[in-house]
Structure formats: structure tokens, C-alpha cells
Chains A and B, each alone.
Chain A
């Protein structure tokens, strides 16, 4: 069986892509390591940006806000395309049944940080959940074919053209190949390198990016990682920006406000980090918004705070800290979302379409996954048309099967779970809201050591049946591969811009660094360079 379009990842980006590829008449398969509705997209609370009427807000200011936040690293054409398509995307989501919140007969909108006007459409504080489930329901209606619990190992590429991908069938630990004329990687971001210091789902291990890197793709702007200012102190579970958008205060234990709550995320995160470094505790205070308002508009935030922090925000301020939240960097794609490998596309948080640049505006990534997801699906379906893939057993599949067999016999002398925890801690400390050359280089040498030790690690569970120990080990391998690209990029960028703040180079330096950091592999060795921003 050879598919026209293989979509890897079943979050909002993957489902949007699959639906539009199918609409173009393509034979589509969506493969994912979990089940579609378990994707991280379900976690988005705040909203999805779109200017629905030019009454007070304008598409022009959506473009401006996005560009401002991007600190020079967004591609203006991409930003314009996405902002202009935004109203259509909301209309489409509405037409397939998304239960958006309403106000006076219209889709309700609220203001998120960094935005000029109330522009984020929402579905109470379950925006991502409701969009994802509606996309899933619609996919069932359209007869989209799913392959769940299948873990992407590698992309199959010959003569710089994609032929399909290899997967680990999680239920059996068998390696299989799936062939397709076009492939779309939509596997989400890599914030989970920060593990307990990240708001993300445990699935956000960047598998698609490292597979792409190994397949010859370029990764770009990997050092740009957005920290969300308001994650719960104990668990890093996110308290959405909607809380600040609605007028929530940030205070320390003395009850003092210390920052304008509606500044961009990186500015607010740094201000909070400073307070904590000073020995203060930081809280999000929404008590003054009132019971009725909170119950109607922020029930999810209240519930999370009670369950995970033991604090009822109606009565007490919520203890918080900044945590890794969104990864701007990704698989480098052109304006059609194609990677440097032919017929291989990437979209959503795993890709760098240059929409967010050095910092993402809240509410723009749900928008990206729908608008660019659809665009990627359409383009992939088109390029599948002229393409042929030979129906044979590919070398890569055999190599991967052998690799998996090998992992079962790794000696397991070093515990990778301990290393994974350690990695997350040194990343939060040294590759967090503040960075500086010495620290970055130190972490790089630790990461390289971990890469060398990988084959001394391995798994304790030797059963081929649904082996999550094996899955977590492969995910760890992917994360230390990506960790190197993040560090090399962060070390090269001797300036501060957007989410990347270098204590030793606190100024933005457009002369040298109005450029994308690009990393790729040659014969297994990581290379890095800068590429001037086109505009």
C-alpha cells in the first residue's frame, strides 16, 4: 500500500492537514504515537487569534502585533498570509461544529498579552480541547484513516526525496514501514526537555524534529523557547494567560505588584524569575475579579489550582513560576511548508514556518496549526500527484528493526531516567529565561557525554508488549539529540532577542544577528550557520 499523503502526528496541525489533503482527493493516513484526542492541542486554554470584524481591531494590527512579538525573525509574507486567512479559519471551525463561546450572537473574543485588541476566539477555557475534538469528529465523518499507537522512528529518504517513514508498533515493538508519496510531519514541540519545568504534555519530546534532522532536514531558530510566566509552582501546570488578560495581578508575598502583567511573555517571565532569584515568592492574584466572573470565565484555572496546588483562587493568590511552554524553533520549511527534502512537509509546533520568529504571540499557534495545517495538507496532496514511490522493503526499515533489537540488549548500566531529570534541571537553570556562555557550554559538554553514554543506558523492561520503558528511552535519545542543536544555536547567538536572553550580551544586535540560526547534520556531525532574514 502506498499512500498519497502520510501525516505523522494527530494534533490540531495533523488533523487539519489530513482533512485538507483528503479534500484534494488524496489517499491519507494519519499515524500518531497516542490517540488523536490525547494530543497536546487539547491543553490550549486561552484562545485562537483572528480579527472577525474590522470594528476596533484590524488585520493590519494583528500583523503588526505578530511582527512586534517576533523581534525581526518572522517572515512578513507568512505573517500576512496567516493573519488574512484567520477569519476564514474560524469560519471553517465554526462550520464543522466548534462550540466557540458566544457574545451578542457572535463568537466571543478576549484580549491576550501582547495583543492590541480582544482578538482571541475561545471556547470557555477549553479552546484547544474543543477545537481538537471537533476536528476529530469531523475526521471521523470524512472517513480519515488512523493508525494509533505507532511511534515515528525515522523518515525514509532516497536521493533527497521522501518515500515514507518507519514506525515502532507500540503494541508489539515491531518496526514497520509506511510508504507515501508525500509526508507531513506534525509531531509537536520539544519543551519536554525541561520535563518538570515545562507546562507541556509528556508527549512533547520533539521526536519529529530529530527524525527530520537525521533525514537531512535543517532545523532553525532552535534556541527560541518561550517561557510562560504563570505555571503552577509545584507541578508546572499552566494557568492560562486569560487570567492576566481578564485583569489578574502578579504579586510577591508582600502583596506588591512588580511588573505590568500585560507585557510580552518573555518580559513578564524574566521579571518573575528575578523576584524568585531575590528570594521572593510570586503569586497570581485573581480574587478581585469576583466569584461570578471566575466561575464563568476561568473555571478551568480555578480547578487546576485547587487540584495541583491545593489553593482556591477565590480565596488565596496562586503560587506560580515561569516554565518552558512553547518552542518557536523547528524543522525549517519554505513558504509552502516544504522542508529541504522533497515532498517532505512540516507544520505546527514541530516546524519553523517563521510565523512566530523569536517569540510567539499568545493565541497564534492554534491559529497556525489550522491555517498552515490546511495549507500543508493541500500542498502535500498536490505534490503527491506527480510522484512515484517504489513498493519495496527499504534499507532504513531493516536498520531500524536492528536498532530496536539492539536496544533490548543494551547493558543498562546507567539509568536514563536519572539523566533525564538531570538534563531538565540544568536546562531550566542555564538554558532558561536567562542564558550565558559559560553555563551553556557546560550544559553542552554534559549533553555530549550523555550522547556517548546512550548505549550504556537502555531499558530494564524486556517485554515486546506495549513497552513504555522502550518508548521513553527512544524519546530521551531524541531529546539529547535536539538538546545539542539548542545549545549550539544559543551559544552562537551572542545577543538578546525575543525569548533568547543572554546575560553576557543583553542587547539586540541587528547588524550581526538579524538572521535565522540554522543547524543540520553532515555525516552525523552537527553543523550550524546563520542565514540573513529575507524581507
Chain B
């Protein structure tokens, strides 16, 4: 069967084209890419690691939807492309520098070291969010980047939330303050991120939860506040 891969090399002309490859049946996409590289075309460039869905190296888009190459079984006619919203370096590889910088901006860590007694209920609060493998699929699927490249994006917000609700975190307000700008109010709640996450994480709901935490601390959605004043003027 055949698949098509969007090749990209900034020094070639044209920079980007779809190329078609014949591959055996029954492979994961990662196995198919390895097959192509070692047997058909050694210039094909992609990332890999664990080949078992935990290292987050291999996310790509298949027919315009984000998947982990190592977990996806190839179908005839599939069109494979690099992730969006990050700079493509070559073929299926994107530069993770910008997406990863959002983690620092969102202060997605425990602000102070702390030990408290926790039970199974407390563990549950952060269990799903801490399954994140930083594959950047959600980031790629998010429409906000088309208009605001500085948006913090779904995984950084989910990770911020993961620490906000952690019983060990004592500075929850400071955490919320880190994600007000280019953060929770910029999300359109479209749910793309939730749909593509290979780990079943739900950044959209986490963002809604963060919005209500923010309200609790007295912060308002600036978009809604604008409408409000518009209403008064009228």
C-alpha cells in the first residue's frame, strides 16, 4: 500500500512536496517510517524514541489529525505531515523550543517544596493531567496560534492546573496569575486539544476549571468585561 509524506527542506526548491512511498501492510506509522528510512530513502527525517507511546517524540499529523506515529496503524492513502504551530525544521521534525518555553511562563511546577499527607482522592485530582507526555499534539491542533503566537497553549495550561490542584501547592494565586495573560481567557474552548490528546487528557476542561479558579481569586475575563462596558455606553 501507499502513503504520502510531506517532505520539507528549506534549502530545496520547492521547499515542500508530498512524496509517495510503497510500504508493507500491518505496520505502525513509526515502523513504516523506519522501513522507508532504512530501505527506501535514507533522507526521510523524523523523531522517535520509546516506540511505545510514552516519550512524546513521534507526534505527526495524519490526514490533518495529530497522532503518535508509534501508536497509529497505517492505512492506504494516508497523508503524513509535521505538526503545526511550531517551526518545521525538516520533513516531520518541528522545533520544540517555543512550545517548551510556555512551561516556564506558565510556572507549571510546584512553587515551593512541600510534603503533606495525601490519600487516593488527592492523587486522583492530578492523575490524568500528569499522564502528559509533552508530545505537543494539542499545541499543534489549537487554532489560537493562528492569531496569537504568544498563547500559552493547552499542555502548559493543563500542567499549570495539575499543580494548582496539587495539595502540596501552597501558592495557588501566584500560579493563576501566571496564566492570565495569553492564557486561559484566550482559549476559544473549541476542544481540539482534548480530541487529539493520545493520553486522554482534557485540556479544555482544565482551562475552564482554571477560569473558575481565576474568578475565585477576583480576576475577570477581560473579553466579557469589555462587552460589559460596551453595554453601559450603549
- A interface residue numbers (CB < 8 A to B): 34-35, 37-40, 42-43, 91, 94-97, 99-106, 123-124, 126, 128-130, 133, 137-138, 140-141, 148, 171, 201-203, 235, 237-238, 303-304, 307-308, 417, 421, 459-461, 463, 465-469
Contact = CB atoms under 8 A, between A and B. Distances in A.
B100 A465 contact: no
A37 B118 contact: no
A133 B39 contact: no
A465 B45 CA distance: 10
Contact of A466 (B89, B113, B133): B89
A235 B96 contact: no
B49 A469 contact: no
Contact of B37 (A101, A137, A469): A469
Given A37-B134, A104-B119, A459-B42, A42 B54 contact: yes
B46 interface: yes
Contacts of B9: 463, 465
Contacts of B10: 465
19 contacts: A35-B96, A91-B115, A96-B113, A97-B169, A99-B127, A126-B130, A133-B130, A137-B163, A140-B104, A140-B109, A141-B110, A148-B96, A202-B49, A304-B52, A308-B28, A461-B42, A463-B9, A465-B89, A469-B43
B31 to A, nearest CB: 8
Given A96-B113, A137-B159, A308 B96 contact: no
A95 B113 contact: yes
Interface in B34-68: 37-39, 42-43, 45-57
7 nearest A-B pairs in the assembled complex, by CB-CB distance = A417-B38, A460-B42, A137-B109, A97-B110, A141-B109, A461-B43, A95-B113
B119 A137 contact: no
A130 to B, nearest CB: 6
B51 to A, nearest CB: 7
Given A101-B123, A137-B108, A40 B114 contact: no
Please classify how large the interface on chain B is, using the bins under 10, 10 to 19, 20 to 34, 35 or more: 35 or more
B11 A37 contact: no
Nearest to A99: B130
A310 to B, nearest CB: 10
A102 B122 contact: yes
A476 to B, nearest CB: 11
Nearest to B125: A99
Given A35-B96, A138-B109, A141-B109, A94 B133 contact: no
B86 interface: no
B52 A308 contact: yes
A124 B54 CA distance: 14
Given A137-B110, A304-B52, A37 B133 contact: yes
A357 to B, nearest CB: 27
Contacts of A171: 89
A466 B10 CA distance: 11
Interface of B: 9-11, 28, 37-39, 42-43, 45-57, 71, 89-90, 93, 96-97, 100, 103-104, 107-111, 113-115, 117-120, 122-123, 126-127, 130-134, 159, 163, 166, 168-169
Contacts of A303: 53
Contacts of B118: 102, 105
Nearest to A91: B115
Contacts of A100: 123
Contacts of B133: 37, 42, 129
Given A42-B50, A137-B109, A37 B117 contact: no
Contact of B119 (A102, A124, A304): A102
Contacts of A201: 49-51, 55
A54 B100 CA distance: 42
Residue among B107, B126, B134 with the highest chain A CB neighbour number at 10 A: B134
Residue among A40, A94, A101, A202 with the highest chain B CB neighbour number at 10 A: A202
B54 A126 contact: yes
Contact of B56 (A38, A99, A123, A128): A38
A20 B188 CA distance: 41
A237 B120 contact: no
Contacts of A34: 47, 49, 57
Contact of A307 (B39, B53, B57): B53
Residue among A34, A38, A126 with the highest chain B CB neighbour number at 10 A: A38
Given A42-B54, A102-B119, A465-B9, A95 B49 contact: no
A469 B57 contact: no
Contact of A37 (B46, B55, B90, B97): B55
Given A97-B109, A97-B110, A463 B127 contact: no
B54 A43 contact: yes
A97 B50 contact: no
Contacts of B42: 417, 459-461, 469
Contact of B43 (A128, A133, A463): A463
B117 A105 contact: yes
B208 to A, nearest CB: 22
Contacts of B46: 468
Given A95-B115, A97-B166, A417 B123 contact: no
A201 B53 CA distance: 11
A105 B119 contact: yes
A130 B37 contact: no
A211 B11 CA distance: 33
Given A140-B104, A202-B49, A465 B11 contact: yes
Contacts of A238: 52
Nearest to A416: B38
Given A40-B50, A42-B55, A126-B131, A460 B38 contact: no
Contacts of A137: 103, 108-110, 159, 163
A95 B114 contact: yes
A126 B128 CA distance: 11
Nearest to B91: A466
B53 A133 contact: no
B51 A417 contact: no
A123 B71 CA distance: 22
Given A37-B133, A203-B49, A140 B110 contact: no
A482 B71 CA distance: 31
B103 A237 contact: no
Contacts of A104: 119
Given A461-B43, A469-B42, 19 more contacts: A42-B49, A42-B133, A102-B122, A105-B117, A128-B54, A130-B130, A133-B130, A201-B49, A201-B50, A202-B51, A235-B52, A421-B38, A463-B11, A463-B43, A465-B10, A465-B89, A466-B90, A468-B37, A468-B46
B168 A97 contact: yes
Given A95-B114, A417-B38, A237 B96 contact: no
A202 B34 CA distance: 11
A55 B28 CA distance: 47
Nearest to B10: A465
Contacts of B104: 140
